[in-house]
Amino acid sequence: MAPTKGVIDPPPGVTPNFENPVQWLYRANWVVVVVGVVLCTSALAMRLYTKIHLSRRFGADDVCVILAWIGAVATQLLGMVGGYENAGYGIHLWDMDQETFDRFEKVELADAVIYLPAMSLAKAAILILYHRLMDPSQMCRRVIYAVGCLIVAYTVAIDLALIFACRPINKGWDMSVEGQCVDKGGLFMAIAVANIVTDIILILLPVPAVRRLQMGHMQKAGVMGLFAIGCATVVTSIIRCATLVPLLTSADQSWEMARALLLVNIEANFMILCASLPFLKQFLRVHAPGLLSSHTSSEPQTPTHSSRPRRLTNRGMPKVGNSLLAPTEVELISDTLERGRPGVDRQYTGDDTTSESETIHVIDDRVKSKGSLC
């Protein structure tokens, strides 16, 4: 039997449509999900191939990105299959019966509980990269650990607050149950604000270290650009935070959810892309060097120095404070900074004409042969 009354009364002059209600942004969300999942999955596969097969440096940050991808895909599929297909996403509340609205509340809660850890795992991958790459001084590590603890703390706290927001718990999605609930809207806003704050911290965290690097301004800008790519979701987080205001204040939340879900889908794919794109140049250098030849061939090549190798010294090597730049992920930076033709190897001679990217390659070679910089 078709329902006869919606969750709320329709505006004057509007007739409820329970049979075939309009679903706002339905196609747009599906396009974003399909295209985004294909792109981010391809990017993740490229990253893993590059890390495992080319550089042989699979680490904890890669595990975090894989788990973040699982959470991102699960969030999108739950929003589309569970939300749009079964829970009234994008439908006016006056076109929705109470049973559908209960499913809406349940899917909305599950989406938030899954998505927050996924974003935090993507941030953890960036912190692990910082830990490997930046100055291993005690202060630097304390800052990284503090930021990591902050991310873990708010992730666990907000997730638990969402799950246990109502007493009893099923009051959160069943309006017929007697009980009390805290303001879940405030929790959703806390998620958005926490993501923005931590994204900004992750962008600013390497700035002091990069400023102390002994390299030119353009190379420093390249390194900062590399770090910023991984934290570029701050833009989508700010936009999503702005869209939360009409969602939380609207009397027709199921309709407004369509726009919020669209931004969540974009952000979910974007965070995986941002974590994988820094490895693209290394991948292309091996499998599609022609795509890079137009860039490298237009740049002047520095004449090769004496073929006789000289003793490697610390002169000219990038430093952070009193310590040399940790080389574990140094090839990643050299991919961004390198200006020479792919495949051209040079011996470090200590001359000032040696580029910083070539110096970084020499550091990497030294670590591979001796196991440390000492």
**CATH code for the domain in which residue 184 is found:** 1.20.1070
Total-model pTM: 0.78
Task: Of 234, 84, 109, 123, give the one whose Cα is nearest residue 182.
Answer: 109
Question: Helices 356-370 and 330-337 meet at what angle, rounded to 10?
Answer: 160
Residue 228 inside a domain? The answer is: yes
pLDDT at res. 294 = 54
Quick one: which of 148, 161, 227 has its CA closest to 190?
Answer: 161
Question: Does residue 324 sit in helix, strand or coil?
Answer: strand
Q: DSSP 3-state assignment of 177?
A: coil
Are the beta carbons of 122 and 150 closer than 8 angstroms?
no
Structural domain range at position 92: 26-283
> By three-state DSSP, how is residue 323 classified?
strand
Question: What is the pLDDT, as a whole number, of residue 366?
Answer: 43
d(CA 275, CA 44): 8
Report pLDDT for 279.
87
Whether 140 is in a domain gets the answer yes
Rounded CA-CA distance 89/255 in Å is 6
Neighbours of 337 (CB within 10 A): 23
The CA–CA distances, whole Å, from 115 to 155, 230, 303 equal 10, 18, 52
Residue 180 within a domain: yes
pLDDT at 348: 38
Does the residue 367 lie in any domain? Answer: no
Residue 7 lies in a domain: no
Domain contains 253: yes
What is the count of structural domains for the chain? 1
Instruction: Answer yes or no: is 13 within a domain.
Output: no
- Which residues, given as ranges, of the chain have pLDDT below 70? 1-2, 135-136, 226, 230-231, 293-374
Residue pair 337/219 in contact (Cβ under 8 Å)? The answer is yes
Q: How many whole angstroms separate alpha carbon 261 and alpha carbon 268?
A: 10
pLDDT number for residue 1? 56
Q: Is the peptide bond before 168 cis (omega within 30 degrees of 0)?
A: yes
SS3 61: helix
Contact 162, 187 (CB under 8 A): yes
| Contact (Cβ atoms closer than 8 angstroms) between residue 64 and residue 124 | yes
Q: Is 34 contained in some domain?
A: yes
Amino acid found at 203: I
Distance CA 369, CA 367 (A): 5
Residue pair 249/298 in contact (Cβ under 8 Å)? The answer is: no
Cα 88 to its chain centre, rounded Å, is 28
Model pLDDT, residue 32 = 97
Residue 166 in 3-state DSSP?
A: strand
What does 71-136 look like in DSSP terms, one character per residue? HHHHHHHIIIIIIITTS-TTS-GGGS-HHHHHHHHHHHHHHHHHHHHHHHHHHHHHHHHHHHHS--
CA dist 7 and 136 (Å) reads: 58
